[in-house]
Every structure is written in C-alpha cells, then in structure tokens.
Amino acid sequence: MRHWLALLLSLVSFGCFAQADYAREQRWADEITPAILVGDAVALTLPDGRKFLGIYAPNTKARAGVVLVHGLGMHPDWSVVHPLRSQLAEQDYATLSVQMPVMAAGVSGEQYAPLFPEAAARIAAAVQYLRNKGHAKIVIVSHSYGARMTNVLLNQPDAPAITAWVSIGITGEYSKPATFKAPVLDLYGENDFPGVLELAAKRAAAIKPVRGSAQIRVAGADHFFQGMDNELVRNVKLFLDRSTR
C-alpha cells in the first residue's frame, strides 16, 4: 500500500495526472494482429474489466510458460520481443507476450511512472492466464522499460510467484532487490545505452544474494540486439533451462 501511495504522490512532480493512450494502444493492436504468424491474439482482462492484447503461442511439451514484456511505448510483437516469443515457443516453452500501457508518442520514460500500477497489474494478469493454461512454472522476460515495470510488480508483497526473471537492458539500478524471490538474469549488450552500462556493477551486486542469479554482457550487442537475435535467444534459453529444470 505504501508503494502505491508513493507512486501517486510522485504525480505531483509532473503537475498533473499522466494519461494512458488507449486509442494508440488500439491502433497498435489493429496494426499487428493481422500480421501475427506465430501464436494467436488473445484478450486478457484486468480486475477493473479493461481488456488488453496478448499474443499466446502454446507448446504441448512446454517446460514453463513465459510472459514477455516489451519496452517503452511499443507493442507485444516489437523488436527483441518478436524473436524471443516466436523462437522460445519452438524450443520447449509456451509464450505470452502482452501489451503494456502506452502514452502519446514522444513522451519520455520518466513520465511513465503513473502507469506503473496498471503495467504491474497487466503482468500479473498474464501470469494468471498462463497458470489457467496449466503451467506450473512461469517466468517473466522483459526488455528495457518493460523491465522497470516488472521490477515494480516484483516489489509488491502480493506479487505472483514466478520461477525466474530475465531482465534485458534495464536502465539504472534494481528497485528493492531484497524482495526478489526468484533468480534473475541481468542481460545487456556491450554497446548498450549509457544508463544500462554505467550501473551494471551495482545491478550485479544487487542480485548476487538471490540464488541462481547471473549477469551476462553480450559482446557486440546494442540495446535492441540488432542482428543478434540468435545470440539473444540462446542466452535467455540457457538461463531458463537452468532455472526451470
């Protein structure tokens, strides 16, 4: 409760309550849904009844379900999320990539803080969706600002239990790492954003007490792992295989 209050108080610094752009979110859904080749579009529901887009790719032999969380202002088939959700679905995992709340184009990441509670609720709803599909083990793989949103969820005392978390290219430090109950992979590129690189050592120290955690810097990779999809998926899968055995 104190955490949610702190988020609400932080809105004062913006001078007004920031608004999610649900029309933009719908435009993303209308654009990408017809082009989905791996998996199917599904509607997930928040406790308040609001629905949001997910892309679910089942696997009858899945060793775990994977929730994928995209970065700032984008959609659930964007950038690094696409190779992860499609390739992991072919390699012993069921994947569910979910739409995070977005704001108007051009809004900076700092202004997204008021949307964190809804983002956390969406990730929790995705975890429950996979539980309802029969997956006993569930992991979260999140990129960039999506990792910040996942961090907010995992800080909550009532956060859903997960088996592992892969945090890709998270900027800054981890918030309240003492609350992490599952192993964390801190994955980033050698040529990542300065905000990712500068605090890599602090992130490594923060997750060291969490058994099974690790940090990997991928040589030659940038923030979006451009041209390095296979290397990205390989590192994520190796960690998931260890964490879910």
Mean pLDDT within 154-160: 97
Give a three-class secondary structure readout of 200-243: HHHHHHHHCCCCCCEEEEEEEEECCCCCCHHHHHHHHHHHHHHH
pLDDT value of residue 104: 87
Q: Are 77 and 36 in contact (CB under 8 A)?
A: yes
For the stretch 41-59, pLDDT in tens is 999 999 999 999 999 999 9
Give the C-alpha separation, 219 to 192, whole Å. 10
For the stretch 63-102, pLDDT in tens is 999 999 999 989 999 999 999 999 999 999 999 999 999 9
Mean pLDDT within 202-216: 98
Mean pLDDT within 170-182: 96
Q: Is the pLDDT of residue 148 over 90?
A: yes
pLDDT value of residue 107: 82
Q: Is the pLDDT of residue 7 over 80?
A: no
pLDDT value of residue 18: 64
Dig out the tokens for 162 from the structure: 């997960």
Mean pLDDT within 206-222: 98
Tell me the pLDDT of the chain averaged across its residues: 92
Q: Are 143 and 69 in contact (CB under 8 A)?
A: yes
